[in-house]
Amino acid sequence: MADDLLSAMKVSAAGMKAQGTRLRISTENVANAQSTGETPGAEPYRRQTIAFKARLDKALGAQMVEVDSIGKDTKTPFELKFLPDHPAADEQGYVKMPNVNALVEIMDVREAQRSYEANLGMIEQARSMVLRTIDMLRG
């Protein structure tokens, strides 16, 4: 039973690590939501994406979540903004703006936070069960 509880804690810890990475990626996206190129026609910051995968941990006999890849969003186009005085403005006065949607990023942050908290709750429950088991064995 103790092995199962420790395994549950390790699975939850892996989930927390993956969601922490997701949170970092979303905050980087928000922080760079106004990062344009420096010269006319230069590409601005491109939104980062994250993908997860399940990995079988043979020692635990459990599926663990981990980050599969961190990539770039190449499907969402850049928005053009009329800023003729900007150093990155093209001949018509338009600047390519990052393809970051703050609302999408905020939702990703909230989802990552909820998943992180759920995994933390599972670790706290498993820890509590281990401590109660130890108390029962002592008495």
Secondary structure (DSSP) of 20-70:
HHHHHHHHHHHHTTT---SSTT------EEEEEEEEEETTTTEEEEEEEEE
Report whether pLDDT(139) > 80.
Answer: no
Tens of pLDDT, residue by residue over 34-90, are 999 999 989 999 999 999 999 999 988 899 999 999 999 999 999 999 999 999 999
Residue 1 clears pLDDT 80, i.e. is over it: no
Mean residue pLDDT of the chain comes to 93
Residue 59: what pLDDT? 87
Please give the average per-residue pLDDT across 82-107, as a whole number: 96
Is pLDDT of 8 > 70? yes
Q: Which stretch of 68-72, 100-104, 133-137 has the lowest confidence by average pLDDT? A: 133-137
Structure token pair of residue 91 = 């001949």
CA angle 26-93-37, nearest 5°? Answer: 35
Residue 130: pLDDT band with limits 50, 70, 90: confident
